[in-house]
Amino acid sequence: MRSVSLRLSVLAASLFLGLSGVQAQQRAVPDSKAQVQLSFAPVVRQTSGAVVNVYASRSERRQNAGMEEFFRRFFGDSSPNMPPGRSQSSLGSGVIVDASGLVITNNHVIENMNEVKVALADRREFEADIVLRDPRTDLAVLKLKNPANLQVIELGDSEGLQVGDLVLAIGNPFGVGQTVTQGIVSALARTQVGVSDYQFFIQTDAAINPGNSGGALIDMSGRLVGINTAIYSRSGGNIGIGFAVPSSMARVVLDSAKVGSRNVVRPWLGARLQPVDGEIAASLGLERPTGVLVTSVYDKGPAVEAGLKRGDAILAVDGQPIDNPDAFGYRFTLKGTRGETPLTILRGGKQTHIQVKLQPPPESPPREPVRIRTRSPLSGATLVNMSPAVAEELQIDIGDDGVIVSDLDEGSAAASVGFKKGDQIVAINGERLASTKDADRVIGRANGYWEVTVNRGGRVFTTVLGR
C-alpha cells in the first residue's frame, strides 16, 4: 500500500492527566485501559508493513456469440462474459500472514479475476497466484511469487474479543493509499449481513470504506483479529458500521491452503436446519427464539448416527449457544473434521447432549468428472456425479443421483450461454441422466438437436434448441 498520510497523535485525554509536554510526546503501546491516552503508533509500525494492496484484473474475448444469443431465452438472462477486448479490474487490500508469502484477502476482491499483483507498503510489487478461493466465507488466499523480507501479522484469537475492545482497521480505502482508522468492537456474532454463507461477523465503528476489503482488523497487541469485509452504507461511504470476518474462520481457510487444498474442507452434519421463530419457540417450550430446528436428516450421515431426529432443536455446539443456522455453521466449522463434538439438543421439552462425529462429507458415489469437449451447448463444462461432498461444496440440495456442473472453462460455450456451477443437468433429449457416463454417452451422440432439462436451485426448466 502507498502511504499518503498516517496522522496518529496523542489523545486529548493525556492533557487531563497532568502529563508534561515532553511526556505527552512519548509513544508506547497501551497496556491497560488507563493508558488509552497513549499513541497507537507502535501498533501501526508493528503491523502496517504486512497490510498490502491487491490489484486484480481479467481480460478475455467473448466467443460463441451466436450460440449465446440462441440460448438467451433458455436461461432468461444475458451472458456473464464481456465484449471482445474489454477487461475488468479490482482493487482491494490483503494481509501477509505467513513468511512464505501467503496473503489473505476477500474473495470478492479477486472473484472472476485471473491476474493478481500485490503491492507492499514499501512499494515493492509481486505477482501472486490464487491458491484458494472460498466464496462461502468470502475469503481467498494468495501466494506471492519469489517473496523476500516480508513483514507478517500474527493471527490472534477472535473468540476472545469483547464488545468495547479497541481495534485498528488498516487498508486502502478508495485507492488513496494505506490508511489507519481506530474504533471499538461494536458487536459480535452479527449474522444478518448477507455477505457470505458463514455469517458471524465482528462489527466495528473503525472507519471502513471501499478498498478496505481484505484489510486487517488489529487488536491492541498487534494481532490480526479480523479481515475487513463489508460496510453498511446508504451512500457507499463509511457511517461507522463495518464488518470483519473473525480470525478464527480465517485460520480455517488458511490451514486448508497450507496443506495444498483447493477447497476448504468442512465438517458435515448430514441434516437440514431452519431458524427457530417465535411460533416454533413456543411450540418447543422455549422462552425465546434460539437454536436451530432440524427439518430433515440424511439417512447416511453423522446426524443420524448420533441419533439426531427431525423436530429436534440444536441449542449449542460444544457449549457455545447458537441462535440461527449461520451461527451453527460457524461454530460447527471451527471444530474441524476429526474426532467428535457435543451438541446440546431439545427433544420433547427436555435438554440432552449427543456426540456427533466430525467428518468431511463423503465422495459417494465418486465424482467421475467428465469435461465436455465436443461441440455442444455444454462444451467447456465439467460434469460430476452428485454426492454429499459435491452438494456441500456447491451448496445445493442433496439428491439421490444426478449430474452436476462443477466447473466452467473461461470463455467456453457453456459459460457463454449461461450455465452455472451447481446446475443439475436432469435430462438431454428426453434421456434422464443418472451419472456422468450417461451424460457423456448422450451428448456424444446428439446431432445438432438439444432438448435440455436443468434444475437450478429447485427451479426446473426445459428448452428445445438446435445449432
- 343's enclosing H/E stretch is strand 340-347
DSSP, collapsed to helix, strand or coil, labels residue 329 as helix
Tens digit of each residue's pLDDT (9 = 90 or more) over 90-112: 788 999 999 999 999 999 999 88
Q: Which residues pair with 140 in a beta bridge?
A: 105, 133
Please identify every residue annotated as catalytic: 108, 138, 213
CA 186 to chain centre: 22
In the annotated binding site, the residues are 108, 138, 211-213
The CATH number corresponding to 271-357 among 3.40.50.1970, 2.30.42.10, 3.40.50.410, 1.10.10.1100 equals 2.30.42.10
| Mean pLDDT across 337-354 | 95
Angle between helices 247-258 and 325-333 (to 10 degrees): 50
Half-sphere exposure (Cβ direction) of 404: Cα atoms closer than 13 Å: 26
Domain parsing of the chain, residue ranges = 12-44, 45-265, 271-357, 370-466
CATH code for 45-265?
Answer: 2.40.10.120
Q: How confident is the model at residue 410 (pLDDT cuts 50, 70, 90)?
A: confident
Q: What pLDDT score does 22 carry? A: 36
Two domains, one topology: 271-357 and 370-466:
yes
C-alpha cell, 360: 468431511
- 393's enclosing H/E stretch is helix 388-394
Tens digit of each residue's pLDDT (9 = 90 or more) over 373-394: 888 888 999 999 999 999 888 8
- Is the Cα torsion angle 212, 189, 354, 299 positive or negative in sign? negative
C-alpha cell, 229: 469485509
Tens digit of each residue's pLDDT (9 = 90 or more) over 360-375: 999 989 999 999 988 8
In the annotated binding site for substrate, the residues are 108, 138, 211-213
The yes-or-no verdict on residue 164 having pLDDT over 50 is: yes
Q: How confident is the model at residue 239 (pLDDT cuts 50, 70, 90)?
A: low
pLDDT above 90 as % of the chain: 50
Q: Yes or no: say if 256 and 342 are a contact pair by the CB < 8 Å rule.
A: no
- Is the Cα torsion angle 244, 247, 249, 255 positive or negative in sign? positive
CA distance from start to end of the chain: 50
The yes-or-no verdict on residue 248 having pLDDT over 80 is: yes
Q: What pLDDT score does 95 carry? A: 96
Average pLDDT, the chain: 82
Per CATH, domain 370-466 is 2.30.42.10: yes
d(CA 408, CA 422): 11
